[in-house]
Amino acid sequence: MRPSILRRLLRRVASTAVLGVVAATLSTVGAAQPATAATGLQQVTGFGSNPGNLQMYEYAPAGLPANAPLVIALHGCTQTANDYYTNSGWPKYADLWKFAVVFPQTTSANNSLSCFGWFDPAEDGRGKGEAASIVQMVEHAKQQYGSDGRRVYVTGLSAGGGMTADLLAAYPDVFAGGSVASGLPAQCATSQAAASGCQTGPQKLTPAQWGDKVRGSYPGYSGPWPRVAIWQGTSDYTVYPANATALRDQWTDVWGIGQTPAGTDTLPGNTTRTIYNDSSGKPAVETYSVSGMGHGLPVSPGSGTGQCGSTAAYFLSSICSTYYTGVFWGLDQGAPGGGNPLPAPSGPTVTGVTGSSASLSWGAVTGASSYAVYRNGTEVGRPASTAFTDTGLTAGTAYRYTVAAVDASGATGTLSAAVTATTTGGTGGGACFTATNYAQVAAGRAHTTGGYVYANGSNQNMGLYNVFVTHTLRESPAGYFVIADTGCTA
């Protein structure tokens, strides 16, 4: 018997160990059948050598412009491409924001539960098996639709989420961003025997060890890295929430930004979003924790712009994850015309602070009808002028602000550089220290991780470890430092 045939037979026999809880939990869901093309969903053949034995389905809206984004959407176990097309909400936003979507499909010929092989080194590595087939689909779609190769994204649920993480690690030069829903960190398991252990509780590795699994997937690659959204239900007993924590640790380490969030906010559907910004203040990693949700993709049926999808097995009513993922990737920018987003405003600068407010101003952008102001990554205002006062703040606290221009269609442009404002007052006062990042570390007020500097105590990201970046730190209480570039008084 040929080794390739033997390997596939072994995978089918052992597949009950892979996301086996899925079968036990949703025993009413039958084995997946090949997708039948729904209206608008078309099968593509001859897209490449297809070493992973996958099927390719695609959807493209009418009037798709050249240089539009491309999204790859991976179904979960026991599902089909048509299931994901019908229930996930991706076609709605493809129509609204103008991009093409590819829905790869695996079948019981590869795995008895139709799971993507996120646990199999012969399937999930660079140039290997299913991963290579998916990248061939990307190349075919780019040629077919004239897609922008700089804006290719991948998303997936459960086993599709695990494969998504593996693809981001193995092909960071192909994918600008990813979204992992109820999935696993990249290279969590390298055998079927280890797969179930990852689902119920991944290895207790440090962020650097998780990051090494990504860096080892494409040795020598130095960036840029994909921006990653992580979706997880707190009551998921198929892929436990510990996997979301491991994913967070993995991708924040790859980005070199630490695990201290820039901001946290509350979204619909009992969802908590936590944001981890890069050195320019732009979200690089976001986690979305859906309270009380089990194993599945969050959807929110309805006709509103932020609503999508339909409920079905593994498609759970709470929040439209597809909408928030698309906005995180910037798919809504420039729609529907497909033009370039507005440039970043110059600045911003802090013009004043009180114990409960911070005032900002920035340079005007031609073509802007308003400006979106973000505090710690969350939008807090949309003024028509080039000035804004943020209120209701906590005394003696540092806040990080960025601004983007918004055009008449509502498309948000490029984020500005970040500025930090520290409100006055607070308890404990504290001494202020202004110095370069290098000197702050040398003086014991900050520390380095992955080439970046973080304030001791607060762990706020101060930027690159060098003598060219200067910050003011306030110490309060002893040994606890916060960025206080403005409003710092002893």
Tell me the three state secondary structure of residue 288. strand
Tell me the two tokens of residue 174. Answer: 């192909």
Cα 367 to its chain centre, rounded Å, is 29
Sign of CA pseudo-dihedral 243, 246, 251, 254: negative
Tell me the two tokens of residue 101. Answer: 């979507």
- Indicate the DSSP class of residue 300: B
Which residue in 216, 202, 206 sits closest to 162, CA to CA?
Answer: 202
Are the C-beta atoms of 399 and 376 separated by less than 8 Å? yes
Q: Annotated catalytic, 88?
A: no
> Choosing from 158, 217, 300, 318, which is the catalytic residue?
158
Angle at CA 140, nearest 5°, toward 134 and 145? 125
Number of Cβ atoms within 10 Å of the Cβ of 291: 13
Tell me the two tokens of residue 175. Answer: 């994918």
Angle at CA 352, nearest 5°, toward 350 and 354? 125
Q: Which residues contact 256 (CB under 8 A, 6 or more apart)?
A: 449, 450, 451, 452
Quote the CA–CA distance of 205 and 216 in Å, as a whole number: 15
Give me the helix-helix angle, 321-329 and 90-97, nearest 10°. 40
Give me the helix-helix angle, 207-215 and 242-255, nearest 10°. 70
The residues carrying an active-site annotation are: 158
